[in-house]
Amino acid sequence: MPHPYRDVVIAGVYNTPQARQLEGHDSESITFDAAVGALADAGVKPAEVDAVIGAHAQELVLGLRLGPCTRLPWQLGIPIVLEGADLVASGRADVVLVAAGGASMYSDRTSTAPWTRPANEFVVGYGLFTAAEFALMARRHMVMHRTTPEQMATVAATIRNNGHVNPDAVYYGRGPFTPADILASRMVADPFHLLDCAMTSEGGCALVLTNADRAADFSSPPVWILGGGSDSYGPAYQIAPAWDLVGRSDVPAGYVGRTAARHTFAAAGLHPGDVDVAELYDPFSFEIIRQMEAFGFCNDGEGGAFVAEGNIGPGGRLPVTTDGGTMSYSHAGINAQQLQRVIRAVEQLRGTCATSQVDGASVALCSNGGSGALFTDVLLLGTERP
């Protein structure tokens, strides 16, 4: 059976400027900037777009005069890239614009960001927020496997140092950091110090998917979708995020994303060892340790040692989150920051990263979500047609 995405390519990507706060922008306006940028990068005219996906899909259809047009106003990262690929693969669309942005969403700085503190009745009275939910997963891993704060701090220092050298990162020039610097920052939700956590920022991003037979028209080499998938164990921030929560299989919620990754590698005919660079979602330092285990880059319980041995840094066996991620590059709004993992992977495969480029990268793994939120999405991209 031919690969379902053998005729689908990512033809354009774009990140707007990112900042702690973007003066004069709201989420819609920065999403428009991102959309226009991605269309330009792909060399596609608005009139050629016949599907838009993203929280502002309907506004883009109107504002860019795309109608009549398929619109899917969904607020997710990797799943909407896969949805766009499905639209192209099934012939329901030829050119799909996927766009996201967040700005003017976070003003009351005495509280955590509004999207991090859901009002569900079983958690609202306990002052939980994203960092605390993810800490409950991290603590259990520490209990089971003696994972240490120092190992987590190694992750944070590695990713923050990727941002430190990246001129496009919100926290460009803020380092370099040692693990000791991470551990010296103030405690937010034990075991997470301030520098173990993602920042909050503003910005937009977009990408364009289209049919491979148009690839010759583009200025950049196409990037191919080798596989992808999504795991969820239920709604985030409503029930106890217990490591060993299970559903229909014996894979625990602590390894959410493992099933999706297995399907993804199988679809691509590849193995974790084939991945050259991993643009992983990094809301908290522990999540990288967990994903190393969940995705099969090391054995269960050995993620802490794996990252401490230098495997995830520049020149390591598996460079991770090379733009600085949500800790240092940007953590814009709700979904731009998730799509940005995909955009960085495309840039790695094009070989165009100004900093932390992995030489000759031909296979890149991306992820979104995390254990504390009970979902993880996985996407595998490559330079070769599947």
Residues that bind another protein (CB under 8 A): 110-112, 116-117, 119, 121-129, 131-132, 135-137, 139-140, 143, 186-192, 194, 234, 238-243, 245
- Residue (246 or 266) nearer to another protein, CB: 246
Min separation Cβ 172 and another protein, Å:
25
Nearest to 30 by CA among 237, 279, 334: 334
Which three-class secondary structure state does DSSP give residue 184? Answer: helix
- Residue (212 or 245) nearer to another protein, CB: 245
Min separation Cβ 12 and another protein, Å:
39
- Residue (90 or 107) nearer to another protein, CB: 107
- Residue (281 or 286) nearer to another protein, CB: 286
- Residue (166 or 200) nearer to another protein, CB: 200
**What DSSP letter does each residue of 260-329 carry, written as one string?**
HHHHHHHHHT--GGG-SEEE---SBHHHHHHHHHHTTSS-TT-HHHHHHTTTTSTTSSS-B-TT-HHHHT
Half-sphere exposure of 367 (CA within 13 A, CB side): 28
Q: How far is CA 124 from the centre of its chain?
A: 27
Min separation Cβ 143 and another protein, Å:
4
Q: Which residues contact 121 (CB under 8 A, 6 or more apart)?
A: none
Give the Cα separation of 306 and 174 in Å (integer). Answer: 26
Q: Which residues contact 312 (CB under 8 A, 6 or more apart)?
A: 155, 158, 278, 288, 292, 306, 318, 319, 320
Place of tokens 């803020």: 174
Q: Is the torsion defined by CA of 303, 200, 181, 15 positive or negative?
A: positive
Min separation Cβ 211 and another protein, Å:
42
Nearest to 317 by CA among 304, 327, 307: 307
Min separation Cβ 151 and another protein, Å:
17
- Residue (240 or 354) nearer to another protein, CB: 240
Give the Cα separation of 382 and 180 in Å (integer). Answer: 36
Min separation Cβ 134 and another protein, Å:
9
Give the Cα separation of 279 and 254 in Å (integer). Answer: 20
- Residue (125 or 315) nearer to another protein, CB: 125
Min separation Cβ 235 and another protein, Å:
9
- Residue (234 or 273) nearer to another protein, CB: 234
Tokens at 219, concatenated: 């200025």
Min separation Cβ 219 and another protein, Å:
45
Place of tokens 């401490």: 308
Min separation Cβ 113 and another protein, Å:
10
- Residue (47 or 187) nearer to another protein, CB: 187
Return the ∠ at Cα 285 (arms to 281 and 287), rounded to 5°: 55
